[in-house]
Structures are given as C-alpha cells and as structure tokens.
Amino acid sequence: MKLEHFALQVPDPAALADWYVKNLGFSIARSGGEPSHARFLLDNSGAIMLEVYRNPLVSVPNYERLETLQLHLAFVSTNPAADRDRLVKAGAKVADDLTSSPTGDQFVMLRDPWSLPLQLVKRAQRMLTVG
C-alpha cells in the first residue's frame, strides 16, 4: 500500500494552507468548505499530501504543549539556516536551533504560526528517491 495523505486537525485550515503554499512550496490539491474547511496540500514533488481541517466534532490538539519529538513535519532543506531565517521572517518560531548528528545530518526545529512543529533537515546521505 502507498500512503495517500497524513491529516491534522488545526485551528484555521485555510490560513495554515495559505501559509504552507506561500512558504513551504505546497499547492492545494483539493479544498472544501463548511464545516471543516479541509485543504489537501500537495508537496512540490507531487508525491506527499497533507490534509488540514477543523472538524467541529473534536478539539484541536494543543500543538504548543506537544514536544517537537512527539510529532513534527520534516522538510528536506539544502540550507537549513537560510530556510530557518526565511520562515522566521514569515512567522515561524525557532524551537531548537541548528544541530548536527554524528552521521552529518543537519536539523532545525521550528513551530509554524499555529505552533505545529516543523523540522528542516539536510541529510548527509539522501533518504528519499523522490523530490
């Protein structure tokens, strides 16, 4: 089986989707209205999709209280420091600044304007074959 999408309940799906399109290179594959305002966001490789919505039947997780190691969206970055600076100017916040692993991978952990954890990663050895 192939993963089609990963879904997240968020406080403002339309605004979050617009920010992800403008700042993270997503496009909107499908958009819905009331009651959930769901947005299916397609990454720039066309291989990974994220759904964001606000279903009134359940609460929105408190992403600010969630540890970044419990849940995060990881993005390939060729320059994590430059991408960190660009995203901070767009409203993200630094959670953990630039670090390197013993294998040479580089990481920056941010929180988007809605506190959802985002990781920027530059791998010493590429892991994905797409993108």
Question: By CB neighbour count within 10 A (0-12 exposed, 13-18 middle, 19+ buried), where does 70 fall?
Answer: exposed
The answer to whether residues 82 and 116 belong to one domain is yes
pTM value > 0.85 = yes
The answer to whether residues 83 and 45 belong to one domain is no
Grade residue 85 by pLDDT with cuts at 50, 70 and 90.
Answer: very high
CATH of the domain at 39: 3.10.180.10
What value does the mean pLDDT of the chain take?
95
Count of domains for the chain: 2
pLDDT by residue (tens digit) across 8-61? 999 999 999 999 999 999 999 999 999 999 999 999 989 899 999 999 999 999
Q: How far apart are CA 111 and CA 126, in angstroms?
A: 24
Q: Domain range spanning residue 35? A: 6-53
